[in-house]
Amino acid sequence: MTAAAGTLAGRGAVVTGASRGIGLAIARRLAAAGARVAMLARSADVLAARAAELGAAALPVPCDVTDADAVARATRVITLSFGAPPDILVNNAGVFHPRPVEATPPAEFTDVLRVNLIATFHLVHALLGEMRVRGRGHIVSIGSIADRMTFPGNGAYSASKFGARALHQVMREELRGSGVRTTLVSPASVDTDMWDGLAATGRFPARDAMLPADAVAAAVLFALEQPDRVNIDELRLSSA
């Protein structure tokens, strides 16, 4: 299927954390389905290189998504480039620093919440209003098995992901009947470079037993491709 004939042809999407891992896999899937994809990440050089691989469908937008002013500027750039506000938001950016609660520096705990939860709110706040006005749009949140289960060493990460789940559930209730859809995609461990130096500790699954990033991207695309009257509230992914 060519991009011009894709199921998302004519739609504009924003994907955060798009320079690697799950975010990059999602950006690739959406571009292949015909969407114009604004790829957000902090690493400008890496982001530009990954966007070049996707071709004309990709728009690299360097942005610190924890900074509300930076998100507002990025939103203006995207809207001008697309010629309209984006139709799709995929909140994927995240960090993971597993430590016992007493060993977690307060600054690190705050940073995890800023990236995994507060940045999600910044993007939603910047884009949801226009979606409501148009009566259409789709917000996808990338959650985790840790948004509903607790594990030792996950104090900061679970707090952020439980919060992101709560934000999704509130939006789902607020947006019923508005034409704006919301989906939470919650995978088990995914094989990305987030695990570099961690999987070998024996505390986590082996990398080859984890989900591939493209499986998460496929789940996101599945939710986005549903008819307008269908909302996929939640998808939970685990290894077979």
Separation between Cα atoms, residue 34 and residue 166, nearest integer Å: 31
Buried b (16+ CB within 10 A) or exposed e, 154-177: bbbbbbbbbbbbebbeebbeebee
Question: Would you tell me how many other CB atoms lie within 10 Å of the CB of residue 69?
Answer: 9
Residues in CB range of 83: below 8 A, 6 or more apart: none
Separation between Cα atoms, residue 192 and residue 115, nearest integer Å: 17
Question: Would you tell me how many other CB atoms lie within 10 Å of the CB of residue 78?
Answer: 23
Of 96, 109, 157, 195, which is the active-site residue?
157
Nearest by Cα to 92 from 192, 11, 170, 239? 192
Nearest by Cα to 64 from 129, 19, 7? 19
Q: What is the DSSP letter of 183?
A: E
Separation between Cα atoms, residue 78 and residue 12, nearest integer Å: 9
Q: Is 140 a catalytic residue?
A: no
Separation between Cα atoms, residue 99 and residue 105, nearest integer Å: 9
Active site residues: 157
